[in-house]
Amino acid sequence: MHKPATVPPTGSVGTVETRFLDLPEPVPLECGRELSGVRVAYETYGSLSPARDNVILICHALSGDAHAAGISAAATTTAGTRDGFAAEDRDGSAGASLGWWDGMIGPGKAFDTERYFIISTNLLGGCRGTTGPRSTNPGTGLPYGPDFPVITVADMVRTQRRFLDRLGIERLAAVAGGSLGGMQALEWAVLFPDQVDAIVVIASTHALHPQGVAWNAIAREAIMGDPAWQGGRYHGTGRTPDAGMGVARMVGHVTYLSGPALEAKFARRLQASEQIRHTLTEPEFAVESYLNHQAASFVKRFDANTYLYMSRALTYFDLARQHGDGSLKHALEGVLARTLLIAFSSDWLYPPSASDEIADALRSLGKPVDYHLIEAPYGHDSFLLEEARQIPIVRQFLEDGIQTTMRTATP
């Protein structure tokens, strides 16, 4: 799969392609329904060891996809898949084809492709190759749209489990992700405790706080309130709820960043002149233009219904409610994986307090947990921007695991 890149960036996995795998059996879902004909889009980086014991599953966040590392062989179809500041501001035009976590995955990086076989899938419900609301409903021959079942993080994880079964991979050396991706890592450790050696949970939570639930509800309301959404049956009508999606994306962006980060980047700078122009409808402040730009580029690449389903899944996620009768400690009782938690001081959407709670619950159960709170100003987006500071933490954590395994294997 790894074609050599023409000019490979330092530490890059090179040029990559997204591949697809069809699950032969229906996937049962938490809502009671099941999905037939599920296709999973995925990429892999590095080589599978003969013992098949070096697999790390990478899980993406709300608007990500399977293209986590390297340069896409089909760059035009994966343009701008990175979230937040990272996509447009840091990578510039090069970012258009670069995987969303390329800084973390590759030779010598946090998830070292010289040692690990990295697998990244597009989530169930996604719009980048894995079966989702835009896919054809085999029962009708039309896109699912709002008839797609309401899925949960557990459904995403069970789909990943079945996908890995098809690849002949039983155990995972680690599951890793940020935000919604971190929720999947936690869910893996709870659902399949004896199949995951370690989880890497970055800028995530065991349950979104009510303000986060509110932001997500507002984003969904913006989309569903757009008449072009048409009850979710917009496919084939020539109209898409771009206005609502744009507002949803703007809300997302502001919550992904910290107030001080916006202050540092934009302050109250005007966009076009030194003086206000007394305009009601045109962007006037630089921060307004920035949000407009983010909205316009997002609606071109992302499916509104997928946004709704992902947003709903991450608000539903609640380890204590799902698995612990309301107790987080109880929910985590069966976890066997070593846990790495990374939180960022300025992340107010997935605040450090949530990681504190996970760490406390695991420690009170006597389970191994490694928790790093990184002082960083960029809010939730820090998980994509502060890669340099995460790399040694993740490398050390994974290295410790190998040491532990070796000690266990050769007493």
Q: By 3-state DSSP, what share of the chain in percent is helix, strand and coil, each rounded to 5?
A: 40, 15, 40
> Does an H or E element contain 249, and which?
helix 242-256
Asked if 350 interacts with a copy of itself (CB under 8 A), we say no
- Rounded (10°) angle between helices 242-256 and 304-316: 40
Decide: helix, strand or coil at residue 125.
coil
CB of 156 to a copy of itself, least distance (A): 14
Q: CA-to-CA distance for 93 and 105, rounded, in angstroms?
A: 20
Residue whose structure tokens are 């302050």: 267
Catalytic residue at 372? no
Per-residue x/- marks for a copy of itself, 108-147, CB under 8 A?
A: --------------------------------------x-
Q: Considering 347, 355, 372, 382, which one is annotated as catalytic? A: 347
Is residue 45 a contact partner of residue 70, using CB atoms and an 8 Å limit?
yes
Catalytic residue at 380? yes
> Residue 286: phi, psi to the nearest 5?
-60, -40
Q: Which of residues 167-226 bind a copy of itself (CB under 8 A)?
A: 207-211, 213-215, 217-218, 220-222, 224-226
Q: CA-to-CA distance for 3 and 370, rounded, in angstroms?
A: 36
Asked if 393 interacts with a copy of itself (CB under 8 A), we say no
- Nearest residue to 59 via CA among 164, 181, 158: 181
Q: CA-to-CA distance for 317 and 313, rounded, in angstroms?
A: 6
User: Which pair of tokens denotes residue 340?
Assistant: 């790495």
Q: Which of 279, 403, 408, 410 binds a copy of itself (CB under 8 A)?
A: 279
Enumerate the β-bridge partners of residue 303. none
Annotated binding site for substrate: 249, 381
- Nearest residue to 98 via CA among 114, 110, 111, 86: 86
Total binding residues toward a copy of itself, as defined by CB under 8 A? 59
Asked if 51 interacts with a copy of itself (CB under 8 A), we say no
Asked if 39 interacts with a copy of itself (CB under 8 A), we say no
Catalytic residue at 356? no
Residue whose structure tokens are 């307004």: 288
CB of 169 to a copy of itself, least distance (A): 29
Asked if 280 interacts with a copy of itself (CB under 8 A), we say yes
Q: CA-to-CA distance for 96 and 72, rounded, in angstroms?
A: 9
Enumerate the β-bridge partners of residue 59. 177
Q: Considering 63, 179, 204, 258, which one is annotated as catalytic? A: 179
Q: Which of 5, 262, 391, 402 binds a copy of itself (CB under 8 A)?
A: 262
Classify the C-alpha dihedral 220-189-81-94 as positive or negative. Answer: positive
Cβ proximity to a copy of itself: between 103 and 352 the closer is 352
Asked if 321 interacts with a copy of itself (CB under 8 A), we say yes
Q: Which of residues 1-30 bind a copy of itself (CB under 8 A)?
A: 30
CB of 198 to a copy of itself, least distance (A): 28
| Strand residue runs (E) in 98-256 | 105-106, 111-112, 117-121, 174-178, 198-202
Q: Which of 308, 359, 385, 398 binds a copy of itself (CB under 8 A)?
A: 308
Q: Which of 1, 150, 272, 365 binds a copy of itself (CB under 8 A)?
A: 150
Asked if 267 interacts with a copy of itself (CB under 8 A), we say yes
Positions in the binding site for a copy of itself (CB under 8 A) = 30-31, 146, 149-150, 152, 207-211, 213-215, 217-218, 220-222, 224-227, 232, 243-244, 246-247, 250-251, 254, 259, 262-263, 265-268, 276, 278-281, 283-285, 287-288, 291-292, 295, 308-309, 312, 315-316, 318, 321, 348
Active site residue ranges: 179, 347, 380
